[in-house]
């Protein structure tokens, strides 16, 4: 279980799968997920194995989440923002035909 070791100057509010949570300004989405008690937040589309934070620095693409409706964003590289909507658990995306 992740634990915060320094108090941020300001807090922002966001949602993770529709649940409201608070995170420190400047935290990454990965930090917010970990502090919310999640350590695996999707399954790989190839094998179904669970995935969460792995490299923590943008290399492995294990930490993908949907942020404000845009799928497959790296939680470890994206800073939180006020009102942000984070959704976990996405599998392989479907590319919708353009209308």
Q: Which residues bind ligand FES (CB under 6 A)?
A: 53-56, 58-63, 74, 76
Q: Which two tokens stand for residue 26?
A: 């400047």
Determine, following the binding rule CB under 8 A, whether residue 97 of this chain makes contact with another protein.
Answer: yes
| Distance from C-alpha of 8 to C-alpha of 39, rounded to nearest angstrom | 21
Q: With respect to ligand FES, which residue has the nearer C-beta, 24 or 56? A: 56
Contacts (CB under 8 A) with another protein, residues 1-60: 45-46
Candidate ranges 3-11, 15-23, 34-42, 64-72; the one touching another protein (CB under 8 A)? 64-72
| Distance from C-alpha of 80 to C-alpha of 98, rounded to nearest angstrom | 30
């Amino acid at each position: 279980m992740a634990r915060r070791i320094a108090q941020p100057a300001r807090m922002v509010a966001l949602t993770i799968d529709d649940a409201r949570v608070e995170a420190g300004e400047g935290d990454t989405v990965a930090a917010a997920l970990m502090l919310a008690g999640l350590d695996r937040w999707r399954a790989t589309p190839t094998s179904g194995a669970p995935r969460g934070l792995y490299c923590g620095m943008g290399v492995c693409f294990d930490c993908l989440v949907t942020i404000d409706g845009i799928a497959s964003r790296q939680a470890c590289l994206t800073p939180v923002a006020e009102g942000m909507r984070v959704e976990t658990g996405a599998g392989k995306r479907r590319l919708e035909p353009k209308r």
